Amino acid sequence: MAGNWKMYKTPAETRAFFEAFRPLVAAAGHCEIVICPPFPDLAVAVDSARGTSIQVGAQNLYWAKEGAFTGEVSGPMIRAAGATHVIVGHSERRQYFGETDETVLKRTVAALDAGLTPIVCVGELLEHREAGRTEAVLCQQCLHGIHGLDERQFAQIVIAYEPVWAIGTGKTATPEIAADAHAVIRREMGNRYGTGAAADIRILYGGSVKPDNVKSLMAQDDIDGVLVGGASLDAKSFATIVNFPS
């Protein structure tokens, strides 16, 4: 169960979140919990999560280890800050910052080289869905992105399916729509890496996940977790999502 805070919260707000959140998920042994705050909050988040099972991730990375790349942050830097995960290829990066399937692959490899677990995002736009091209778009994104990984690398990633039309819109994909897309992605992964490896990979759903819809999403076989934006900013609401079985 992963939270993507996007460009929200200061270090002080991060500390306050963890103070409220920690006790609420202290008994959650059924899942991994990852919180992905903005870069300036990473150190505070890692510090606040110490002694708990909560893990911390970044939201992006650059593929070089270091160098003259003003404004960029590398995998080894994120790892050294104590984070364990990093989101790669979020649709907002693709839409606003020129991310392509090729750069997604470079960042994914860089994350793995740094010892981070990449959460690699794929998903179609509304116009793709309306044109009946969802499956084709997902396959393209897999083909040009994730499929560049070798078997060993593939086994270490997490995939997130986020239909762009469901992000921040309050329009969740129905559990059936999400499950269909997850099945397409798993099938594509099976074609490339074998059905065993594809069955083992975790695929998260993201897009307007809320306390009141998480159960029905998680009831789908192919949905292994969720990547939550807005509802992860509030300790109570994200804890309710994490604790969905109870």
Q: Classify the C-alpha dihedral 204-206-210-215 as positive or negative.
A: negative
| Selected catalytic residue, list 85, 90, 128, 182 | 90
User: Interface with ligand 13P by CB under 6 A: which range of 43-51, 138-146, 160-168, 176-184?
Assistant: 160-168
Using CB under 6 A as the binding rule, whether residue 48 contacts ligand 13P is answered as no
Contact code string over 195-214 relative to ligand 13P, x by CB under 6 A? -----------xxxx-----
Contact 88, 121 (CB under 8 A): yes
> By CB under 6 A, which span of 42-50, 66-74, 149-157, 221-229 interacts with ligand 13P?
221-229
Closest to 91 measured CA to CA, from 104, 75, 74: 104
**Taking CB under 6 A as the rule, does residue 124 contact ligand 13P?**
no
The phi, psi pair for 169, rounded to 5°, reads -105, -10
Compute the distance between CA of residue 57 and CA of residue 36 in angstroms, rounded to an integer: 4
From 9, 33, 49, 18, select the one nearest 241 (Cα to Cα). 33
Q: How many CA atoms lie within 13 A of 152 on its CB side?
A: 3
Q: Is-catalytic flag, 19?
A: no
Between 75 and 225, CB nearer to ligand 13P: 225
Minimum CB distance to ligand 13P, residue 160 (Å): 7
The correct pick among 33, 214, 227, 242 for binding ligand 13P (CB under 6 A) is: 227
> 225 in helix, strand or coil?
strand
Among 4, 117, 134, 213, binds ligand 13P (CB under 6 A): 4
Q: Does 228 bind ligand 13P (CB under 6 A)?
A: yes
What single-letter DSSP state applies at residue 136? H
* Binding segment (CB under 6 A) for ligand 13P, from list 38-46, 126-134, 161-169, 217-225: 161-169
Other residues' Cβ atoms within 10 Å of the Cβ of residue 69 = 11
**Minimum Å distance from CB 163 to ligand 13P?**
10
Q: Is 90 a catalytic residue?
A: yes
Q: Residue 114: how many CB atoms within 10 A of its CB?
A: 20
List the catalytic residues.
90, 162
Site for ligand 13P, rule CB under 6 A: 4, 90, 162, 167-168, 206-209, 227-231
